[in-house]
Amino acid sequence: MKTVKIHFILVCLSVFVLFSCNEKKEQKIEQTVNVEPEMVLDLVDLQTKNKLGKDTVVTVINDPVYHKTKKYRAVSALLLVKNEIDLSKIDIKNTKIIFECIDGYKPEMPLELFLKAKPFLAFKDVDAPKGTNWEKIVKNGNEMDANPFYLVYTSISTDNQEYKWPYNLIKIHLEPLNKSIKELFPSNNKKVEVGYNLFQKQCITCHAINGIGGTMGPELNYPKSVTEYWKEKELVDYIVDPASFRNKVKMPTLGITKQESQEIVDYLKYMSEHRKVNSN
C-alpha cells in the first residue's frame, strides 16, 4: 500500500515538474518575440517636446550633399537613440536602422554601424542666409533644403557608401535585420535570387513590394504587379533608362545593365505570385 502511495506522489511530482518546465519554455519563447524591435522615433515630435538633447556646432569636411565643408547646429543622434530606446533589450547585430524622409525615401543601414560612428542630427545650417535655416540644395535643377533634419557624421569619410546621409529626415525606425529578407526572399525559387539581391540593393529604398520598402516611388506588387500592366520588354528598358520613357522623371538612372534589369523583372514576376499586404 505504502509503495503505491509513494509511487502516486512521485508521479504527481514529476507531472508537476514537467508542467512547470513547459511553462518556463513558453515564457522564454514569448520573451524573445517581444524583444523584436519595431520602434519609431518621431523626430519632429521629439523636437516639439524639447527632447532632442543638448545642441552643439559640428563641422563636416567635404559634406556629400553640399559638396563643401559645412557647419551645422546639431544634437548627438547617438545619445538621442540611446535615451529613447533601451538598447540593452535589443539584439544589435540583427537590427537595422531605417531613415524615413519627407518624400518617402527610406535608406537603411545596420544599427551596429550607426552606433560605431558619431552621428549628428543637424537642424540648422550655420552658413544659411539670414532668415532661413538652410542653404539651398540644388539637385537635377530643383532647389530644395534639408529641413527638418539632416543626418551627418564627423568621423566617417563621405566616400564610405555604407553610411547614409539622409536629409528631409522625419523619423528613425529600428527593425529586425531579417524582416524584409523573411518577407521578400524568394524561398522556393533559386533562379530569381540574383534579382532579389539587386532589388534589395538598388530599389527598395524607393519602392515597396507587399508594403515593405520606400514610398518615394510606387509600390510594385500590390494590389497589381507592374509585371501585369507593363509589357515585359518595356519594363526592362524602363528600369535601365527611365528618362527615355518619361519627361522630368523622378526615378534616377541607376547604371544597371539590361541583363540585371531582366533579373529584377524575373524576380518581380515571381513576387506577383506571392502577393499580400504588410502594414508598414
Distances in Å between the alpha carbon of 160 and those of 92, 113, 155, 164, 211? 21, 11, 11, 9, 29
Question: Is residue 252 at the binding interface for ligand HEC, with CB under 6 A as the rule?
Answer: yes
CB distance 104 to 214 below 8 Å:
yes
- DSSP structure string for 45-81: HHHHTT-S--EEEEEETT-TTTSS-EEEEEEEHHHHH
> Smaller CB distance to ligand HEC: residue 26 or 103?
103
Residues 92 and 47: beta-carbon distance below 8 Å: no
Q: Is 240 in the site for ligand HEC (CB under 6 A)?
A: no
Between 124 and 164, name the residue whose CB sits nearer to ligand HEC: 164
Residue of the chain from 121, 206, 208, 271 that contacts ligand HEC (CB under 6 A): 206
> Closest separation between CB of residue 70 and ligand HEC, Å?
23
Q: Please report whether residue 250 would count as binding ligand HEC according to CB under 6 A.
A: yes
Bridge-partner residues for 83, per DSSP? none
Q: Which is nearer to ligand HEC, 80 or 208 (CB)?
A: 208
d(CA 29, CA 157): 41
Site residues for ligand HEC, 213-232, by CB under 6 A, read 216-218, 220, 226
Q: Looking at 76, 95, 168, 202, which residue binds ligand HEC (CB under 6 A)?
A: 202
Beta carbon of residue 250, minimum distance to ligand HEC (angstroms, whole number)? 4
The answer, yes or no, to whether the previous bond of 148 is cis (omega within 30 of 0) is yes
Other C-beta atoms lying within 10 Å of the C-beta of residue 72? 25
By CB under 6 A, is residue 275 in contact with ligand HEC?
no
CA pseudo-torsion sign 242, 243, 247, 249: positive
Peptide bond before residue 223 is cis, with ω within 30 degrees of 0: yes
Site membership for ligand HEC, residue 129 (CB under 6 A): no
Asked if 209 is part of the footprint of ligand HEC (rule: CB under 6 A), the reply reads no
Binding residues for ligand HEC, rule CB under 6 A, total: 22
Grid coordinates in use for 34?
517581444
Under 8 Å between Cβ of 134 and 147: yes
- CB closer to ligand HEC out of 71 and 274: 274
**By CB under 6 A, which span of 11-19, 39-47, 65-73, 247-255 interacts with ligand HEC?**
247-255
Q: Is 172 in the site for ligand HEC (CB under 6 A)?
A: no
Residue 237 makes contact with ligand HEC by CB under 6 A: no
- Minimal distance, residue 44 CB to ligand HEC, in Å: 23
**Contact between 192 and ligand HEC per CB under 6 A:** no
Task: Report the alpha-carbon distance of residue 115 to residue 53 in Å, rounded.
Answer: 17
Residue number with CB closer to ligand HEC (124 or 171): 171
* Separation of alpha carbons 18 and 25, rounded Å: 11
What is the nearest approach in angstroms of ligand HEC to the Cβ of residue 207? 5
Q: Are 71 and 123 in contact (CB under 8 A)?
A: no
Question: Which residues of this protein are in contact with ligand HEC, per CB under 6 A?
Answer: 202-203, 205-207, 216-218, 220, 226, 235, 238-239, 242, 246, 249-252, 254, 256, 264
